[in-house]
Amino acid sequence: MQVKQCEFCRVPYQSHGQRLCAECTLKLDQDFIEIREYLYDNEGAGIEEVSEATGVSRKSILFLLKEERLLVGDENGNANAILTCEVCKKPIHTGRMCAGCKKEVLSALQESVGPSTIPIRRAPEREPIEEKPLRGVAKLQLKK
């Protein structure tokens, strides 16, 4: 067991391998359920609308987007500037990297480790999520 800093609230906690403290894990799961229920009835609602209607903070919504539990885009399905790839800075719908950068990183990892081992998925060190003003009309979707 080790002491880590929660990626969401930045408070130290005793970890058994998880990235979030127990309180934030529970809170984000409850927030996701609230968002999911709202989006079932209001498909394509914007981030601000979802936040106001559900009481879920924009910080939680952005965290869920980066964790690939939600998607964001406009009416035409285009990604907008709310999320950008952390490597090449292209607009993306969900997560932290675009598909091309993910493929390059995975390929580089597989080359360095070799084909005979099973790749281990480890989360990179992450910066805290900042509250930034949102631009444009971002429509949330559930990830399928």
pLDDT digits (tens, 9 = 90+) for 25-78: 999 999 999 998 998 888 878 888 899 999 999 999 999 988 988 888 765 556
Contact 9, 111 (CB under 8 A): no
CA–CA gap between residue 73 and residue 32 (Å, rounded): 18
**Per-residue confidence (pLDDT) for residue 103, from 0 to 100:** 92
CA–CA gap between residue 142 and residue 61 (Å, rounded): 12
pLDDT, tens digit (0-9, with 9 covering 90-100), for 88-116? 988 888 889 998 999 999 888 888 876 65
